[in-house]
Structure 1
Amino acid sequence: MTRGQVPLGSICEVTAGPSGSLLESLQDGPDGVPVISPPDLTDHHTVDTRRLRRVPWSEAKRLSRFALREGDLLVVRQGALGRLALIEEEHATWFYSSSCLRLRPRREFVLPAYLVSYLSYPPVQRALLGQSLPGTVPSLNSTMLKELPVTVPPLDRQRSVVEALADVDARIRIQRLMADRLEALRPAIFGELIQGTRHR
């Protein structure tokens, strides 16, 4: 651990998901409390809510210690290691599966949005993967994650980092939208060109 770094466990509460036996009643359909699983975490660190499974309302009380709050992070601990998502207000009170670890940042030390960016930084991702337990399905546990070194600048610097990255993300979205529009126009332009109706 280098100067200026602290263990993740000193700035976050790290909690493993409920055991499989507690989620035996998972079901498809619109009724019940949603349970977020690794396939629901997107490449953009958000939650895809289209295919969520749920536990019946009657089971919610015994799972209450696994309820999510706005600002929590979910990290995949089995299989697709390195995937993570920031929990938004709309996901509060939902649960998460046994294949995830919940990070609850201590906000007096670290901003959730900064921590998402830090944990998705390629060198940190490589460090996470390097810590994984060998086996048919690579995995992490809460002890490993708690020991991960994290660079934690002052909160004002963290805010500056988050704002700068948000600006970059906005520019990326604009460029992707422009590329998608050009891609959609390409067949029409080709058709006009071969018919001789389009002039340079």
Structure 2
Amino acid sequence: MEVKPGYKQTEVGVIPEEWECPRIRDAAAKSSNATVGGPFGSDLVSADYVESGVPVIRGQNMSFSFVTGDFVFVSEKKARSLSANLAHPKDLVFTQRGTLGQVAIVPDGSFESYLISQSQMKVSLDRPRHDPHFLHQYFTSAAGQKQIVTSAIQTGVPHTNLGILRAYRFPAPPLPEQRAIVEALSDVDGLLGGLDRLIAKKRDLKQAAMQQLLTGQTRLPGFHGEWEVRRLGEIAKIQRGASPRPIDSPVWFDDSSPVGWVRISDVTRAGMFLLETTQRLSPLGVKHSRPVATGSLIMSICATVGRPIITQIDVCIHDGFVVFDNLEADQRFLYYVLKWIEPDWSKHGQTGSQMNLNTGLINGTRISVPPLPEQTAIATVLSEMDGELAVLEQRREKTRALKQAMMQELLTGRTRLL
């Protein structure tokens, strides 16, 4: 591939000629223990945890740009005995096993030091040459994540080690340009953080609204009638799906068919409405399953139990779902009731190889039901809240896409800020 003047081909792709392409081991501080992993398993066990002291960085503390969250602690004495495994502000922490690709910066101001667990590795950088925020942006970019994943050891549970970490390469512009790139990307991170907080707040508000409206604790203006307690089986005909056997036979499936085959994964990644399925049934498959018309309310009863969804396409359901037909209630109201009680299903379901619900339990479940006009009004309020959340989530996805495009330009030097 021809490289345009002023650029060069490197292990991380084409970058400006004046940029370097060092390994982590070349960018680490010259001090001892600049790149280390966690202590040996027997050196840090749950019995070492105390109420306060030096925080321990575990996988659940690595979900954001900075190490954060609920920590467990070890005593100062224990931390001193494991001083080689300590991380300090502005160090980078990488996950070694578990959720590979997690990278976080140790923050300033919270604690003087942190102990990394057996599942993490830390890097102390030569900061006069390398900005940890720049390396964080690179290793959370698509290119950096690909390097982490493709270099991992795939036997058993995918994992990595210090040798692999030290060999990671990254593009390294001069420090002033690193900082300019970090500043530009941090502005977008600020937008994303604001959207994340707003979405979380809206979700909390919706949960509170469901608590109040679906239980009658708060009544919408103009509604005063009494509510009834009814069994689900009294307000719907609840029928379980059917699966053609053997389920993996190719004769049941046809990608050109207009009839979808609903799988649990189709439901778990969708919202209120099912718009598509990953598989489609042949006419023979439809004959041996349970067809469900567009606009039906279905619910998963196996594995992910109690997840309701309204179909927007013609589908068939297997015996891991039920369909609610002949409704004597507002469909969207019932959908929100099912969403509200979804977390409770697992307390009453049957356990085997997978959690599951039987139709007798579902039929006998009691819910509070207001008059139909109030049902519709409640469903409308909650639907509007869902609509607001959907707009914010779409905005967040667009902002994430914008950041990825910016990273592609700035972290390769295609667009220069200095």
TM-score (norm 2): 0.42
Q: Is the 8 A contact 2:50 2:75 kept in 1?
A: no
Partners of 1:73 and 1:126 in 2: CA distance: 18
> Secondary structure of the residue that 2:87 maps to in structure 1?
coil
Q: Which residue of 2 aligns with 1:75?
A: 94
Alignment pair present for 1:5 and 2:5? no
Corresponding residue to 1:139 among 159, 175, 179: 159
Partner AA of 1:48 in structure 2: T
Measure the CA separation in 1 of the matches of 2:65 and 2:197.
Answer: 19
| RMSD (Å), alpha carbons | 2.7
Q: Is 1:17 matched up with 2:33?
A: no
Q: With a CA cutoff of 8 Å and minimum separation of 6, indicate the structure with the bigger relative contact order.
A: 1
Q: Distance in 2 between matches of 1:179 and 1:81?
A: 26
Distance 1:56 1:133, change over 3 A: same
Partner Cα separation in structure 2 for residue 129 and residue 185 of structure 1:
37
3-state SS of 1:101 partner: strand
Alignment partner of 1:109 out of 129, 132, 135: 129
Residue matched to 1:92 = 112
Determine the C-alpha separation between the residues in 2 that align with 1:167 and 1:27.
40
Tell me which of 58, 62, 70 is aligned to 2:81: 62
Q: 1:158 to 1:27 in 2, by over 3 A?
A: same
Structure exhibiting the larger radius of gyration computed from Cα positions: 2
Deviation track 1:73-92 (CA, whole Å, cap 9, x = no partner) reads 11001121111210012233
- Alignment map for 1:187-198 (pairs within 5 Å): 194=377
Q: What per-residue deviation string (whole Å, max 9, x for no partner) do you get for residues 28-83 of structure 1?
A: 442332211112211x2222332x22223332221112222111011001121111
Give CA deviations for 1:162-193 in whole Å, capped at 9, x if unaligned.
111111112223344555566647969x9579
1:155–1:59 CA distance, 2 compared to 1 (3 A): same
Give yes or no for contact 2:22–2:170 (8 Å, CA) kept in 1.
Answer: yes
Query: Match of 2:35, SS?
Result: strand
Q: Does 1:37 align with 2:58?
A: yes
Contact 2:60 2:69 in 1 (8 A): no
Query: Which residue is 2:276 aligned to?
Result: none
Contact 2:49 2:75 in 1 (8 A): no
Summarize the Cα distance change of 1:176–1:68 in structure 2 as closer, same or farther, 3 Å threshold: closer
Change (3 A) 1:102 1:180: closer
Q: What percent identity do the matched residue pairs reach?
A: 23
AA at the equivalent of 1:53: V
Separation in 2, partners of 1:139, 1:175: 32
Q: CA deviation at 1:147?
A: 1.1
1:19, 1:98 within 8 Å by CA — same for their partners in 2? yes
Output the CA distance in 1 between the equivalents of 2:87 and 2:191: 31
SS of equivalent residue, structure 1 residue 60: helix
Return the alpha-carbon distance in structure 1 between the equivalents of residues 141 and 150 of structure 2.
14
SS of structure 1 residue aligned to 2:56:
strand
From 185, 199, 208, the equivalent of 1:165 is: 185
SS in 2 for 1:46: coil
Structure 2 partner of 1:198: none
Cα distance change of structure 1 residues 58 and 171 upon mapping to structure 2, 3 Å threshold: closer
Asked whether the equivalents of residues 86 and 112 of structure 1 are also in contact (C-alpha less than 8 Å), the reply is yes
SS in 1 for 2:118: coil
Where structure 2 has 5 or more consecutive residues not aligned to the other structure, the ranges are: 1-10, 29-33, 214-219, 222-375, 379-418
